[in-house]
Amino acid sequence: MTWAGKIVAWAALVTMVALGAPGAARAQEARDLEARDLFVAGRYTQALTVYQDLYARTHHPTYLRNIGRCHQMLRQPDPAISHFRAYLRDARELAPQERTEIEGYITEMQGLRAVQAPSSPPPPPAAPSPAGTLGAAPDRRERPALTRRWWFWTGLGALVAGSVITAIALSGQNSHRPPCPADTVCP
């Protein structure tokens, strides 16, 4: 297969993958509906699993809110607070009323955490690790998926456009006629 044929085949494959995206969107909508039904039915652990999967696939901030609500209903204040704060941080154009609602959930979970906390004294501070840290976990903020970044799609579009242009240009250069000598008429 020539390079031009390979490029055209690759471009066709990319087009087929891109056209498959609507099917993925329908599957995501079905999973979202499943999670909502589980939540409404009071099956918070199952709903939590589905919402975590949806967030891992899409990194959409609404799923952070939904994960926080599942933890809230399961009376797990620390993960609920963490997810609510992440939602407030990541959600764009959040209405003031919704921000107030989420802050109320955080306050409620902080109160639950205080009630659930044992009345024993706090544990002694951890000994430093050999690396010199206090054993704290590094701050790892989750990055959006590669396909959720603008430069990925821009690069992919440029690659496909370049591939198509190259294929067209190469398909016109397949003549193997020798050059015509000067001062002669060639067929």
pLDDT at res. 178: 65
Residue type, 180: C
**Phi-psi region at 93: left, alpha or beta (left = phi > 0; alpha = psi -120 to 50):** left
Residues in the chain predicted with pLDDT less than 50, given as ranges, are 13, 16
Q: What's the predicted TM-score (pTM) here?
A: 0.53
pLDDT at res. 109: 93
* Farthest-apart Cα atoms in the chain, separation: 104
Single out the residue of 107, 62, 113 nearest to residue 86, CA to CA. 62
pLDDT at res. 128: 61
Domains of the chain and any CATH numbers: 3-18+26-117+147-171 (1.25.40.10)
Per residue in 75-84, pLDDT tens?
A: 999 999 999 9
Number of H-type helices and E-type strands within the chain: 7, 0
pLDDT at res. 172: 66
pLDDT at res. 69: 94
pLDDT at res. 6: 59
pLDDT at res. 76: 95
pLDDT at res. 38: 93
Residues 83 and 91: beta-carbon distance below 8 Å: no
Buried b (16+ CB within 10 A) or exposed e, 71-80: bbeeebbebb
